[in-house]
Amino acid sequence: MPAIPFDNSYIDLGPDFHSRVAPEPVADPQLIRFNHELAAALGIDADALDTAEKAAIFSGNVIPEGAEPLAMVYAGHQFGGFSARLGDGRAILLGEVVADGQRFDIQLKGSGRTPYSRSGDGRAALGPVLREYILCEAMARLGVPTTRALAAVSTGEAVRREGMLPGGIITRVSRSFVRVGTFEYFAAIGNRDAVKKLADYVIARNYSDLGAADNPYEALLARVIDRQARLIARWMQIGFIHGVMNTDNMSIAGETIDYGPCAFMDGFDHNQVYSSIDREGRYAYGNQPPIGQWNLIRFAETLLPLLLTGDDSRAAVASAERLLNEFRDIYHAAWLDGMREKLGLATDAPDDAELVSDFLDLLDRDNADFTLAFRHLSSLGVEPSAQDETIASLFANRAEIDAWLARWRQRLCSEGSQDGERQQRMQAVNPLYIPRNHLVEAAIRAAEDHGDLKPFHQLCEVLQNPFETQPGREEYARPPKPEERVLQTFCGT
């Protein structure tokens, strides 16, 4: 039995969809972190591989038995402009495994040049590798659909960015790396057969229940709209900013993918942007829902020929528009459901959306810490007490937050809310620990500048239990001091 039970399917779509290419070996691969729990869930026999073998495989120096490395081709709208050919310029799909009836891609990122590298070096710096590892695993623990991190290695080689930086490779796992941009690639070159083949592949692999629908392609569009609306609602509920929501970074399987200059907000600001390359704020926190819908319109356009029944193209457009218009309602309902949970509300009332947005407005006005505000709220009782100070201290205007708390309490009382039971529910959805930007940055600095990986490992450990108070780890819960604040994140490409 090979250590990784590969069972590959994407390769069978044929050479239009990929280029066969092997990873480029690196000088001195060292295993930084390996995700044993994930490996076990994927049916990987990690014990069969010693540390050096893991480092060799997850750097691409050794091709494991059963792997059939390839780079996927795709296009994409980047910051609104269309690039007809992008593709895996520094990633390589090693192959797929099937676990519990679910198929997963195993992909190296930073593994060298491919036919899609254009002027890039095919490599990743260690910093962005660590950032992606920390962020995607934190997201998984926060209950957000996401690609996972299986391994991180350092390469022993330097990469040229702003200066010279140590190189790294991350191994990512996804329910499928097919993107909106994959569909766009084939639609743009007018290859309808390939669009259909890809849609059939996605339906069979990710949404097999849709195979029996009257029009499976219309059902696929509806499902992807639904998944993305719910995904973005989850981002909004935890203060996550993706940073580069280009269509090539939007997953058809509905996962958060391609972690670049992404970040969690500290102080709440609807217009918050961290990414150094997002100068216009296209992918600002508050813009994520409309941009998600914009990307889905690009997806729908690629499916139009498949939505035709007979040759009534107007009917196809009308049905796509109808589905796209549902995005807002699906998003809003998912967002409101989650926000009700964050406020501890067990029932629905007509004014709930207003109660939520008034709280967010107060947070926004004072740039109050988003995560701590909800966490502190989770410990309050229905009767005002000295504990109110924990949340009130986050705000400049005491009278306004007091007035809001009174409304919230009234609402809780209207549904007979019990303190203990509600506090437990709220603490299970309002995290205490998130991958705060200054902590991520400090972990990266220690690794890149001093070869010290301890802060990275410690941060990963804390983030495995984001909802449980961890005594002695108070530092990980607090917002940055002014001098610690990180104002920009870099994608490192």
C-alpha to C-alpha distance for 267 and 438, rounded to whole angstroms: 13
Give, as ranges, the residues between 257 and 276 that touch ligand AMP (CB under 6 A): 258, 260
Query: Residue 446: CB partners within 8 Å, gap ≥ 6?
Result: 452, 453, 454, 455, 456
Q: From the CB of 113, what's the least distance to ligand AMP, in Å? A: 7
- 458 near ligand AMP, rule: CB under 6 A: no
111 or 249: CB nearest Mg ion = 249
Examine residue 218 and tell whether it contacts Mg ion (CB under 5 A): no
**260 interface partner picked from ligand AMP, Mg ion, none, CB below 5 to 8 A per type:** ligand AMP
Q: Which of 121, 200, 301, 341 binds ligand AMP (CB under 6 A)?
A: 121
Based on CB atoms, which residue is closest to Mg ion, 299 or 359? Answer: 299
In this chain, which of 96, 218, 258, 388 binds Mg ion, going by CB under 5 A?
A: 258
- Sole residue written with tokens 């729908």: 300
Measured CA to CA, the distance from residue 493 to residue 248 in angstroms comes to 15
Residue listed under structure tokens 């993107």: 179
Residue 120 vs 281, nearer CB to ligand AMP: 120
Number of chain positions touching Mg ion (CB under 5 A): 2
Q: Tell me the C-alpha distance between 25 and 486, whole Å.
A: 34
Among 176, 249, 275, 430, binds Mg ion (CB under 5 A): 249
Task: Report the nearest approach of ligand AMP to the CB of residue 248 (Å).
Answer: 6
- 117 forms part of the interface with ligand AMP (CB under 6 A): yes
- Within positions 56 to 115, which residues make up the interface with ligand AMP, using CB under 6 A? 86-90
Residue 148: what residue type? R
In angstroms, give the least distance from the CB of 74 to Mg ion. Answer: 9
Minimum distance, C-beta of residue 147 to ligand AMP, in the bound complex (Å): 12
DSSP of 155-224, one letter per residue? EEEEEESSSEEEEEEEEEEES---BHHHHHHHHHTT-HHHHHHHHHHHHHHH-GGGGGSSSHHHHHHHHH
Judge whether 50 counts as a catalytic residue: no
| Residue 233 in tokens | 């609602």
Q: Which residue, 61 or 249, is less far from Mg ion as judged by CB?
A: 249
Whole-angstrom Cα distance, residue 19 to residue 419?
58
190-199 long-range contacts, CB within 8 A, separation 24+: 191/16, 192/305, 192/306, 194/16, 194/17, 195/302, 195/303, 195/305, 195/306, 196/306, 197/13, 198/13, 198/17, 199/303, 199/306
Q: Which residue has the tokens 């073998």?
A: 53
Active-site residue identified among 105, 248, 258, 364 = 248
User: What is the contact surface with ligand AMP in residues (CB under 6 A)?
Assistant: 86-90, 116-117, 120-123, 244, 249, 258, 260, 491, 493
User: What is the contact surface with Mg ion in residues (CB under 5 A)?
Assistant: 249, 258
Indicate which residues carry an active-site annotation.
248
